[in-house]
Structure 1
Amino acid sequence: MQRDDYQQEWLTLDNAARIYPASLSEWSPDVYRISVTFGAPIRVSALDSALRTVFPRFPYFQVHLRRGLFWYYLQRDDEIPELCPMSGVPVSVMPMQRGSCHLLRVQARGATIAVDFSHVLTDGAGALRFLGTLATQYLRLRGVRVTRWEPFLDPDEPPSPGEYEDAYNKYFDRGLPGPSRLSAAYHLPGEAQSRFRVITGRMPVGDMLALARGHRVSLTTYLVALYMHSLAQVRDSGTDKEGKTGSGILRVEVPVDMRRLYPSETMRNFSLFVSPEIDMGLGAYSFDEIVQRVHHSMSMQVDRKELARQIARNVRAERNPFIRIMPLFLKDLLFSYVRERIGESPYSGVITNLGRIAVPEGIDTHVESFGVMLGPNPRMKKNCAVLSFRDDLYINFGSVIESRDLERLFFAHMARAGVRVIVAERSSDT
């Protein structure tokens, strides 16, 4: 793609993005939030100037969602989004059905910049690079000397053609079989409410790494196992109407950044999922047993060949001649059904780990923390998002049900293991 092509009027949705517009609602807005907090209050004028400099560096984000006859598509719009006061949690659907809004919201409050992203636009890796670039440019305007931009992007450099690519289609191998279909999984009881609550736990990352090393597993594996252990305790507690009569399969969706396995510069979606599980019908599992099952399951699934099967299934469906000629209103019905059967029903919950956040030299002393929150999902009811910065690990649980049992069990386990956990709560009411 040449420089002139950056001004093209429209883009197709990447393969992962195609399924989201069909099921958007106020109950399930498919948004998530990445945030950064500085050591001093935000100067709105400087942030606005930084946004006006940075946003054109990401032309694939300068888009509105439009309906076509057969597919949704992204239409370019060079207008810079307005800064908004930051809400407590990411709950509002982007008004994209009317094509009147960018697919991200830049917000500020106090010392924090937060950006809410639609899943149509990008995944967590792309979102983090945008936020990091914006934060670095803001600090530069505030007088901080920036000599290197890595791991973020220099707003003075033109976009790379690779940043636009649909990496799923690039790495599609039509000869591969798709993955096996997953059965329905246990879901937490409780009626989904309009109120969305986020409970945040902050703890020393070194202590958590020590716990994981004690089990000879990665931190992500340890946290996934603890999530599943807490789910199992809720299911076996007998405090809910469903109790043990629901599905005995506990299965957690764990996103994988495919850029770690396939060379790609894409700033659009390029994530897939692995699905560790335990079958409670076989009997009770100790925490140590769950850790080992999750470790071996994820070791096998986080594999280029295994994940390529998901790419094959998803891209093959997109290229299916019958689906291609299907009018969009019928695709909406089909994709809503497919998402419920493939993307929600088989999972008891989701936990995503953005890993350790690195920043360019020179700005680290001005940054206090980063944060990540997933938006509400009325089917899985709770979700979990994790990242670490400097010496702290941040774990955010989002919930649309009243019960706090899962979060209580999760953090209590850490406390019993000797980890000092600081817990805070916020909701869509605040």
Structure 2
Amino acid sequence: MISFGAARGEHSLRWYPLDTTAIIFPPALSARFTTVFRISARLKEPVDLPVLERVTAELYRRAPYFCVRLRQGFFWYYLEECPPSGVLRDDGFPCMDLPRRGGARPLLVIRARGNRVALEVSHVLTDGRGALLFLRTLLEMYAALGRGDSPGEVADILRPGEPESWETRYASRLFYRPGQPLPPSYAPAWHVPGPLLGQGRYHVTTGRYPLEPLRERARAMGVSMTDLFLALFIYALQLCYRQEPQPRRHRRPLRILVPVDMRPGTGLQTMRNFFVYAMVELDQRLGIYQLDEIARNVHHQLRAQLDPRSLRKQVARNVAARRNWFNRSIPVFLKDLILRGVYRFQGEAVNTASFSNLGEVSLSREGGDRVLDLDFIAPPSAVTGPNMTLVSFRGTVSVSFGSLRRDPRVEKIFFQTLASLGIQGDLVTNWSAPAEEIRR
């Protein structure tokens, strides 16, 4: 039998401050901006719910800093431990469960239905890399408990025992250097027009493709797979942009926000948020770009911005704002007004969409043999329209779009363009229209 520690006695209500990336999110929370993203695993067999319930309870005890709710203090929001929620039924639309301040449910929950296990978590708590490590640990424990054994040998999962110091580390503060210049500010970007879905609805389309043909196509173009998918996304947005009548004052650039995980470049590990952004831009006033031109453009823009010295600018801005004595002295209700305005005009307004790649995920042979594939879905946004995510597992790439727009034209153009390159895959969607209609 595996165990990650004895059950707690009386609830201790330990609390944790928000990391420097997360402080912008609570004031901006709304029914259409939940900050919740999702990573899910499709298993080869139906979920054994009693086993999953037991594993989830064990893992909540092992990582109590994830079994927390959002609370509002006088000067800052903070995280407070709360009772675990158990495994929730995976019904309704993904990522639409708004984290409520002081609510009884943790900011990280596990859902299950049929043969799918899904982790949903607010960006207030962690980023994609932290959430993925939690889910990988859960899948390894689930497979091990089904065998009556211990988790298989695989790197980078949570080990039995008490939480280690790095898990709750606020890594941005360690990477911060005083006196660094601030990052540039951006003008508003173009956004996909069109009416929104009804409140509480979130449309998701996922394509699953073999990895090797995509790698070969990227190599032939002299770029990485991230560059290729980002170029395909921008190409689809460009065609949508060209379909719209654009008054001169609205000829804004296409700009994609790309989260960058800071762990590999710094050697620092944490289960908290530890990422910054790169911005990839295409100015349509310069004319129409072909796919290969966009791919080369994306490649060079990303490489220029991924220099650690450039990334340090964003860390400097976030940490300095948190340390500023004047900011610290402002009551939270005034901070809400200020940060809500900052996020409105310097957050989603300055990017057309977001693109996030979790990379290739590994599990042990025993844990991975139970999993068919993984999916990754971005938080909803009423401003940016469709956002794109990518994750790879055992030779299969899952590319997902999450959108609050009624019209899936960006998704249609993207998958049609991919098919025109000779890349064939399977599409699934929760749109009322079948996946084949999106493919055509």
1:236 is the counterpart of 2:242: yes
Paired amino acid for 2:227: T
Query: In structure 2, what is the Cα distance between the partners aligned to 1:411 and 1:373?
Result: 17
Query: In structure 2, what is the Cα distance between the partners aligned to 1:85 and 1:249?
Result: 41
1:335 is the counterpart of 2:339: yes
Secondary structure of 1:100 counterpart: coil
1:348 is the counterpart of 2:352: yes
Moved more, 301-310 or 58-67: 58-67
CA distance 1:58–1:218, shift in 2 (3 Å): same
The aligned residue for residue 6 of structure 2 is: none
Paired amino acid for 2:217: L
CA contact (8 A) 1:235 1:244 kept: no
CA contact (8 A) 1:236 1:244 kept: no
Counterpart of 1:41 (choices 23, 46, 64) is: 46
CA contact (8 A) 1:236 1:243 kept: no
Query: In structure 2, what is the Cα distance between the partners aligned to 1:314 and 1:350?
Result: 20
Question: Deviation of residue 150 (structure 1)?
Answer: 2.1
CA contact (8 A) 1:276 1:297 kept: yes
The aligned residue for residue 4 of structure 1 is: none
Q: Deviations over 1:4-27 (max 9, x none)?
A: xxx782111000111111011111
Residues 17-416 of structure 1 aligned to structure 2 (within 5 Å): 17-77=22-82, 79-143=83-147, 145=149, 146-154=151-159, 156-194=160-198, 195-238=201-244, 246-416=250-420
1:417 is the counterpart of 2:421: yes
Query: In structure 2, what is the Cα distance between the partners aligned to 1:103 and 1:428?
Result: 29
CA distance 1:324–1:193, shift in 2 (3 Å): same
Query: In structure 1, what is the Cα distance between the partners aligned to 2:108 and 2:247?
Result: 39
CA distance 1:389–1:244, shift in 2 (3 Å): farther
Question: Deviation of residue 191 (structure 1)?
Answer: 2.3
Percent identity of equivalent pairs:
34
Paired amino acid for 2:234: M
Secondary structure of 1:36 counterpart: strand
Query: In structure 2, what is the Cα distance between the partners aligned to 1:200 and 1:245?
Result: 35
Query: In structure 2, what is the Cα distance between the partners aligned to 1:297 and 1:76?
Result: 41
Question: Deviation of residue 213 (structure 1)?
Answer: 0.6
CA contact (8 A) 2:188 2:252 kept: no
Paired amino acid for 1:202: R
Query: In structure 2, what is the Cα distance between the partners aligned to 1:95 and 1:121?
Result: 11
Paired amino acid for 1:347: N
Secondary structure of 2:155 counterpart: coil
CA distance 1:248–1:95, shift in 2 (3 Å): closer
Gaps of 5+ in 2: 1-11, 435-440
Number of positions where the alignment pairs a residue of Structure 1 with one of Structure 2: 421
Q: Deviations over 1:372-423 (max 9, x none)?
A: 1112100101101110111211111011112111111111111111100221
Question: Deviation of residue 89 (structure 1)?
Answer: 3.3
Secondary structure of 1:137 counterpart: helix
Q: CA RMSD in A?
A: 1.9
Paired amino acid for 1:235: Y
Question: Deviation of residue 345 (structure 1)?
Answer: 0.9
- 4+ residue segments displaced more than 4 Å: 241-245, 427-430
CA distance 1:421–1:94, shift in 2 (3 Å): same
Secondary structure of 2:369 counterpart: helix
Secondary structure of 1:115 counterpart: strand
Query: In structure 2, what is the Cα distance between the partners aligned to 1:147 and 1:131?
Result: 15
Secondary structure of 2:97 counterpart: coil
Query: In structure 1, what is the Cα distance between the partners aligned to 2:93 and 2:399?
Result: 15
CA distance 1:56–1:242, shift in 2 (3 Å): farther
Moved more, 387-396 or 281-290: 281-290
Question: Deviation of residue 225 (structure 1)?
Answer: 1.2
TM-score, structure 1 normalization: 0.94
CA distance 1:66–1:9, shift in 2 (3 Å): same
CA distance 1:429–1:340, shift in 2 (3 Å): farther
CA contact (8 A) 1:414 1:421 kept: no
CA contact (8 A) 1:235 1:243 kept: no
The aligned residue for residue 9 of structure 2 is: none
CA distance 1:429–1:26, shift in 2 (3 Å): farther
Query: In structure 2, what is the Cα distance between the partners aligned to 1:14 and 1:392?
Result: 34
Query: In structure 1, what is the Cα distance between the partners aligned to 2:67 and 2:36?
Result: 17
Question: Deviation of residue 94 (structure 1)?
Answer: 3.5
CA distance 1:33–1:353, shift in 2 (3 Å): same
